[in-house]
Amino acid sequence: MIRNLLLCLFAITLTACGSDTGTTGLVSLVNNAAEERGTNCANGGQMIETGIDDNGDGTLQSAEVNNTTYLCNGSDGSDGSDGSDGSDGFTSLVNITAEAQGANCDEDGQKIEHGVDDNRDGILNEGEVDGTTYMCLQLFKFATSQLIEGRTVTCSSVKHTDSYAECQDLMADDLFFPNGISCGHTWSTTESKFTSHADFCNSLTGGTFEVYYTCDSTQPRATWSDSTWAANFDDNGYTQHVRCYY
């Protein structure tokens, strides 16, 4: 009977223990972050923190860290030996030659050729030219009607040579230049005392002048001084034709 009683108590005890639910266990967490060069890692590396998530918020707080370890980078290896020198590059060359008046330049100018010295002989040969440009002289030329310093200058006809630009019956806003010297019909290099032909031509072509004076006191005149138009003036004659030399 005692034996049966012990078996019964043992059975009751097992039944009572099996009916309780255990508490949920705590979670272990890991943090890792880059570690700068310093005391912990001479060459930098990674910091690894481990611990128990005591407050169950899913984040390893600083107070929950139980252990910190460092995985450090190794020191830099020695530099490798220098590689061999590369081959020399090619040289760019430029040729500049005179360009005569023709299809490429209305006046004289310069032809500029450029390219790579493929055969390394220091000369830009014809087969090495990659491009050609032209720098042409821009010589002043009279037109039958054109604007010069704010006035319309007209010519009944124009002529241009390698030496000069010529305007026949030059007028500025329908005004001739005054003669300023003895009345006559002739080409002259004598400067008018009222109009500076030398300054007029120098302003246009950079050269000297030659003019054809005509006797006629009925024509109104326009004067020129200091590279611009000046006051109008009546005189015993006028400048009919003008040649401005280059």
pLDDT in 10s for each residue of the chain, 246 residues: 434 433 333 343 444 444 555 556 677 878 888 999 999 998 888 888 888 878 878 888 888 888 898 878 888 888 888 888 888 888 898 989 988 878 888 777 888 899 998 998 989 999 989 999 888 877 899 999 999 999 999 999 999 998 999 999 999 999 888 877 766 677 889 888 888 899 999 999 999 999 998 887 777 788 898 888 887 776 777 889 999 999
Domain boundary among 106, 136, 166: 136
Total number of domains in the chain: 3
Take residue 84 and report the two structure tokens written for it.
């061999």
Domain interval for residue 52: 27-73
Clarify whether residues 150 and 117 are in a common domain. Answer: no
| β pairing state of 209-215 and 186-188 | antiparallel
Clarify whether residues 217 and 240 are in a common domain. Answer: yes
Could you tell me the pTM of the whole model? Answer: 0.48
Say how far apart CA 30 and CA 80 lie, in whole Å: 39
Q: Is residue 104 part of a domain?
A: yes
Say how far apart CA 115 and CA 94 lie, in whole Å: 7
Burial (Cβ within 10 Å: 0-12, 13-18, ≥19) of residue 180:
buried
Clarify whether residues 167 and 216 are in a common domain. Answer: yes
Clarify whether residues 172 and 232 are in a common domain. Answer: yes
